[in-house]
Amino acid sequence: MMNELKHKRIALITGANQGVGFQVAKELVADGVTVLVGSRNLANGRTAAEKIGAGAIALQLDVTDRVSLATAAAYIRKEFGRLDLLINNAAISNIRKTQLGLTLQESIEEGCASKVSLDEVRAVWETNVFGTLAVYQAMLPLLRESSDARIVNVSSGIGSLTSMSDPTNFYHKGYGVVYPGSKTAQNAISLAMMIELEDSNIKINLVSPGFTKTNLNGYEGTESLEDGSREVVRVALLGPDGPTGTFTRWPNQAIPW
Which residues have a catalytic role annotated?
Answer: 179, 183
Question: What single-letter amino acid sits at 51?
Answer: K
Q: What is the CA radius of gyration of the chain?
A: 17
Please provide the size of the chain in residues.
257
Contact 25, 101 (CB under 8 A): no
Strand partners, 59: 38
Residues 6+ apart with CB under 8 A from 231: 207, 208, 209, 210, 248, 249, 250, 251, 252
Q: 147-184 burial, b for 16+ CB within 10 Å, e for fewer? A: eebbbbbbbbbbbbeebbeeeebebeebbbbbbbbbbb
Contact 138, 70 (CB under 8 A): yes
- Report which DSSP code applies to 157: G
- Give the side-chain half-sphere CA count within 13 A for 25: 33
Residues 6+ apart with CB under 8 A from 65: none
SS3 234: helix
Show the beta-strand stretches assigned E in the chain: 10-13, 34-39, 56-60, 85-88, 149-154, 202-207, 247-249, 253-254
